Each structure stands twice: as C-alpha cells, then as structure tokens.
Amino acid sequence: MAKKQFAVIGIGRFGSSVAKVLAEMDYEVLAIDADEDRVREVADFVTHAVTADSTDEDAMRSLGIRNFDVVVVAIGQDIQASILTTLIMKDLGVPVIIAKAQNELHGKVLGKIGADKVIHPERDMGSRVAHNLVSPNIMDYIELSDEYSIIELKAPAQMIGKSLKQLDVRAVYKCNVMAIKTGSSMNIAPNADDLIAENNVLVIVGRNKDLSQLEIAYAEG
Ligand code: ATP
C-alpha cells in the first residue's frame, strides 16, 4: 500500500504541529500558508512548503491538491477563509478533509459543507490529531517530553490471540507495554504470557521515533 500523502493548509500552532508530527513519521507533507514567514518556518521539515491563498481555487487546482489523500484545513480565526477553503477542497474532490473549528457553530458549518472530521483544537492537540490520521487505532497520544510519549493503541487484528512475548514489542520496536486496558478494567504490568484479546487497548511508552515506527507498522499493515 502506498503511503498516504497529506496537505496542511494554515500553518499556525495547530497546523505546524500536525505537519511536524506527520513529517517526523516520514509522511509526505505539503504545507500551504498565505503568510510567507510561516511558510519559511516549516520549509525545512516538510516535503514542500508553498505560499498561496487557499481561497483561490485556481491556485489550489494548479498545486494538484486533489491528488492528496488527506487535506487538513487548519485555518481558524478567519472563519470565512476556512469555510471557503473547505468548500474548494470538496469541490476539487479531495478524498478526506479534516477541518479545524474556532467554535461550535463554525464546527457545525464545516461538517455540513463536507468536512469528514472537525477538530476543536482546545480539545484535540495537534500531535494527537496527526497520530490519529496515520492510524485510527491510536486512541490517545500523550507527550511526556520532547523525546518520550505514551500511546494508547487499540489492538490491531494482527495482535489478537498473541502473547506479549510473541509480539516482542520491546525488541522489535524498543517500546514497553505498560498496561492493557479492557473497557474500564486495567491490567498493570502485564506478563509476557498474557494474550491480547479483541477490544484490548495497549498503553505503550517509548521514544517518539520508536513509537512512530510501531504506529507505521500497524497502520500500513
Ligand atoms: P493557531 O491557533 O493554530 O496558532 P492562529 O491563531 O495562529 O492558529 P489562524 O487564524 O488559526 O491563526 O490561522 C492559521 C494560519 O492560517 C495562519 O498562519 C494564516 O496565515 C493562515 N491562513 C489564513 N487564511 C489563509 C488563506 N486564505 N490561505 C492560506 N493560509 C491562510
């Protein structure tokens, strides 16, 4: 399966956090902003960074935006630009549109005009959103420091019925399974022989780059 390609429009704090995390996971990311300085700030870590007005349909068409699998519209304050951009993305046939909302009403409008997912940044951290875009199995993502994080991973099909020993997450991905959750019950410090069952959620700690490898392995099958 080819790796997904992402475009992020609007490189404020939220947009740049989404773009950065995706780029760290080696995904192709196109960053677009009307502000040249914002574009310059992200140019070093994304695949392509361009200065453009996303409400200019012709400009978006010539960037080939419809060829991206997922477009994140991370414009917030300029609600009109956010709505217009989302409409244009829909019109151009972008398969999946994620749009950042400034408030509840804005969110409702974005949903009505075709955003597949609406993000409320006061509730959803940029990094968590990015990890969730890559793998829908990532239920939560908590940054402990610049280097370490904890993820909650819904057990993917390939894990069901296997023991922790068999999966050997520690040797293969250098990450540690700290706990296994099932509904509201929690098995803390699980044994190597404990089997992973359907609906289990694994709480895993590790270095960001190691966790990313694990996520990619289970996201891309
Ligand atoms: P955040 O809360 O994520 O930091 P912000 O408050 O800095 O965001 P927003 O108004 O949410 O700013 O906009 C985010 C980015 O979107 C800005 O960098 C802005 O230049 C860009 N932007 C706004 N309108 C457009 C547009 N029409 N085309 C391209 N980029 C735009």
Q: Is the pLDDT of residue 216 over 50?
A: yes
- Give the mutation target among 78, 110, 124, 129 for probing the ligand 1 site: most ligand atoms within 8 A of CB: 78
Q: Is residue 179 in a domain?
A: yes
Q: Is residue 139 in a domain?
A: yes
Output the six-digit token pair for 196.
């992973």
Report in angstroms the alpha-carbon separations of 97 from 83, 92, 110, 162.
12, 11, 10, 36
Nearest CA residue ID for atom 13, ligand 1: 75
Q: Is residue 129 in a domain?
A: no
Mean pLDDT within 22-49: 95
Could you give the CA distance from residue 73 to residue 176 in angstroms, rounded to a whole number? 34
Predicted confidence band at 213 (pLDDT cuts at 50, 70, 90)? confident
Predicted confidence band at 1 (pLDDT cuts at 50, 70, 90)? low
Task: Give residues (CB < 6 A) around ligand 1.
Answer: 9-15, 32-35, 38, 53-55, 74-78, 81
CA 48 from centroid of its chain's CA atoms? 18
Write the pLDDT tens digit of every residue in 101-158.
Answer: 999 899 999 999 999 999 988 777 787 888 888 777 888 887 777 788 889 999 999 9
SS3 assignment, position 96: strand
pTM over the 0.85 mark = no
Could you give the CA distance from residue 125 to residue 17 in angstroms, rounded to a whole number? 8
Q: Is the pLDDT of residue 221 over 50?
A: no
Report in angstroms the alpha-carbon separations of 121 from 19, 35, 126, 218.
15, 21, 7, 26
CATH of the domain at 214: 3.30.70.1450
Examine the fold and report which residue of 121, 153, 177 is the final residue of a domain before the chain moves on: 121
Burial class (CB in 10 A: 0-12, 13-18, 19+), 30: buried
Pairing state of beta strands 28-33 and 5-9? parallel
Q: What is the pLDDT of residue 128?
A: 80
β-sheet bridge partners, residue 93: none
Do 185 and 214 lie in a common domain? yes
Task: Render the burial of 76-86: b for 16+ CB within 10 Å, e for the rest.
Answer: beebebbbbbb
Examine the fold and report which residue of 96, 121, 146 is the final residue of a domain before the chain moves on: 121
Burial class (CB in 10 A: 0-12, 13-18, 19+), 147: exposed
Do 112 and 196 lie in a common domain? no
Mean pLDDT for all residues in the chain: 90
Q: Is residue 127 in a domain?
A: no
Predicted confidence band at 204 (pLDDT cuts at 50, 70, 90)? very high
- 14 C-alpha to ligand 1 centroid (Å): 9
Q: Is residue 191 in a domain?
A: yes
Q: Is residue 164 in a domain?
A: yes
Report in angstroms the alpha-carbon separations of 146 from 60, 123, 125.
34, 21, 15
Nearest CA residue ID for atom 5, ligand 1: 12
Write the pLDDT tens digit of every residue in 49-80.
Answer: 999 999 999 999 999 999 999 999 999 899 99
For tokens 């699998």, what's the residue? 69
- 24 C-alpha to ligand 1 centroid (Å): 22
- 77 C-alpha to ligand 1 centroid (Å): 7
Predicted confidence band at 220 (pLDDT cuts at 50, 70, 90)? low
Q: Is residue 152 in a domain?
A: yes
Do 115 and 13 lie in a common domain? yes
> How many structural domains compose the chain?
2
Q: What is the pLDDT of residue 24?
A: 87
Ligand 1 atom closest to Cα of residue 53: 28
Do 198 and 152 lie in a common domain? yes
Q: Is residue 38 in a domain?
A: yes
Predicted confidence band at 184 (pLDDT cuts at 50, 70, 90)? confident
Predicted confidence band at 97 (pLDDT cuts at 50, 70, 90)? very high
Examine the fold and report which residue of 121, 154, 189 is the final residue of a domain before the chain moves on: 121
User: For 209, how many CA atoms within 13 A lie in the half-sphere containing its CB?
Assistant: 3
Do 9 and 116 lie in a common domain? yes
Q: What is the pLDDT of residue 185?
A: 87
Output the six-digit token pair for 178.
């700290």
Number of residues that this document lists for the chain: 221
Mean pLDDT within 41-50: 96
Burial class (CB in 10 A: 0-12, 13-18, 19+), 71: buried
Do 11 and 108 lie in a common domain? yes
The more confidently predicted of residues 178 and 15 is 15
Q: What is the dihedral of CA 174, 178, 182, 183, to 10 degrees?
A: -110
CATH of the domain at 76: 3.40.50.720
Domain containing residue 94: 5-121
Do 151 and 117 lie in a common domain? no
